Amino acid sequence: MEYPVFVIALGAVLAGFVQGLSGFAFGMVSMSIWAWTVEPRLAAVLAVFGGLTGQVIAAVTVRRGFDGRRLAPFVIGGLLGLPLGLWLLPRLDVALFKALLGTLLVTWCPLMLVGTRLPRIEAGGRLGDGAAGALGGLLGALGGFTGAIPTLWCTLRGFDKDAQRAVIQNFNLGMLAVTFASYVGGGMVTLRMLPMLALVAAAVLVPVLLGARVYVGLSEAAFRRVVMVLLTLAGIALLASALPVLWRR
């Protein structure tokens, strides 16, 4: 296996900064760069490991808004959604699912971005939070986008930026830890990957810290714009991976 070192480092640096800024989206940013040159199995392992490393760093450096009671239903739902997604993977029309979700994100999120007043969901409570977490876990298993639905849900619920970041940051931390442990247990992580894992860990350190520093200076409105743009890009990424498959049918 030939490792494109510069490409891996570049993807980790850019994704680390975005993750430090927003609390999510490491996989989306890194895979948009790695998918062209990095072998898929290695790219998947590096994306999960890089996201996990970045979340650990960010969780230590940015602790604002943490509330264990608010976080719990998201994590419980996510832990239920992950195995469900793995079970559905060979049974579900994944391309169609990604296309539908991508369409939702690329239509709804720009409307929220330009709207002067966001609709705020008061109903649902902790049950709704758990359902959003379950969908995040399920989508993580199907497409690697664990943060998209929980982030959209937190925005619709009207969480302030610190509360939203704390939920998404720690939710993704839990989901990525479980996913990486399953990779190790399933033999996906090999000894030959260790140098690249070390490279990713080193490459994300400073960008995550820089992104977290920028985050601290963002206003509520600016943070909302960042989140909506990233969710729109997540939708575009989902459509880009799904539409060619659907077109070939």
pLDDT at position 1 over 60: no
Q: Which residues contact 148 (CB under 8 A, 6 or more apart)?
A: 24, 101, 105, 136, 139, 231, 234, 235
What is the value of pTM for the model shown? Answer: 0.80
Report yes or no: 150 and 51 within 8 Å, Cβ to Cβ. Answer: no
Ranges 80-89, 96-105, 140-149, 169-178: which has the least confidence: 140-149
Give tens-digit pLDDT for 48-105. Answer: 899 899 888 877 776 666 777 889 999 999 999 988 888 887 788 878 888 888 898 8
| Alpha-carbon gap, residue 140 to 147, rounded angstroms | 8
Phi/psi of residue 145, nearest 5 degrees:
-105, 65
| Alpha-carbon gap, residue 64 to 106, rounded angstroms | 29
Whole-number pLDDT of residue 196 = 93
Whole-number pLDDT of residue 93 = 86
Amino acid letter for position 200? V
